[in-house]
Structure 1
Amino acid sequence: RACRDAAEWPGDLGVAVNVSAVQFANENFPSVVRRVLEATGLAAERLELEITESVFMADPHATKRMFDRLKKLGVRLALDDFGTGYSSMSYLSRAPFDKIKIDQSFVRGATEDNSSNAAIIRAIVSLAQALGMITVAEGVEAKDELDLVTSFGATLIQGYVFAKALPQAEVLERLQEGRFAYEI
């Protein structure tokens, strides 16, 4: 349904879909993705698959094959909740991610005195930039958090600072009217 809805959105707006470790391990997953793209008419580059670090616990060769098959379809890959699982710098150099999503647990408290979260966010953004990846700061809810993550160079911001989850019709209406602003 997400792909069907996104196919109707204006311009080149994309849609991000979470992928479970079970789905990722399924040998037929790329075929399922291809069929969904064909059935909905959504351009592959508008689909982003969000994958957590847990997928790397499986066979590294099978993981690489799966990444290669998905990238061959033309979809984008995002490493979701970065830093909360089994973070390893080695897989970042091997995996073809387009984006790193900084988990909201690092955003929380990052503006407080003596918090190490700000340093972690800065390091993740710097690493992503060096690897040519886009960064998303997740769970940004306050203006001071927004100021902090943007000052570090986070490419995109996700969170209630802009809006809570909205029905598709309201999102489209806001896009047409240019009504996305801080809600705090």
Structure 2
Amino acid sequence: MDISKVIVRNEIPEDYEIVEKLTYEAFKDFFIPGRTHVDEHYLVNIMRHVPGFVKELDLVAEYDGKIIGNIMYTKSYVNSPDGTRHEILTFGPLSVHPDYQRKGIGQLLMKHSMDRAREMKFRGISILGHPEYYPRAGFKNSGVFGITDKEGNSPPHMMTIELEDGSLSGISGIFEEDPVFVMKHDDVIEFNKVFFARHGDL
């Protein structure tokens, strides 16, 4: 494929079901130890309606008239020991259709969204993701910035990037992502009843 012909644009309501189906297809065969079900497509559905959702950073990648990728952002925070709550960003899911994976689509979506986030004056992004993939886009272990989980740890899958050199200087503490990421299994099951009725056995 010619990646120069990929169009990156904002998601619109007409894309919603397409993106949810794409997200399911992107993650259904993605192995995670201890994983029992796919829920990223449900997360996409509910994320659009939470206060922390950043619609300006909800982007799709379109190629030859077909949506082949999506990235979505929510606001998140670093809570410092002195009680200061610093606003940053988190993205996820980052979804690319299986037929177009390993072709640079994910990196393209990250670049476009980070450029826009920088223009919007956000200072940084923290994610929980694959520690062998995201460093290619400049992410470092969150511990480098003094950002930890509630137990004071910065495991390999916890990563952060500054959107400008030094933009996270003086910011450290406990990472707090949007509550939307805490999903109930029963809610996913109920959503899937409608999802699979529409899309069949994917």
Task: Report the TM-score, using the length of structure 2 for normalisation.
Answer: 0.28
- Structure with larger RCO (C-alpha < 8 A, sep 6+): 2
Q: Which has the higher strand share?
A: 2
Q: Which has the higher helix share?
A: 1
Task: Report the TM-score, using the length of structure 1 for normalisation.
Answer: 0.30
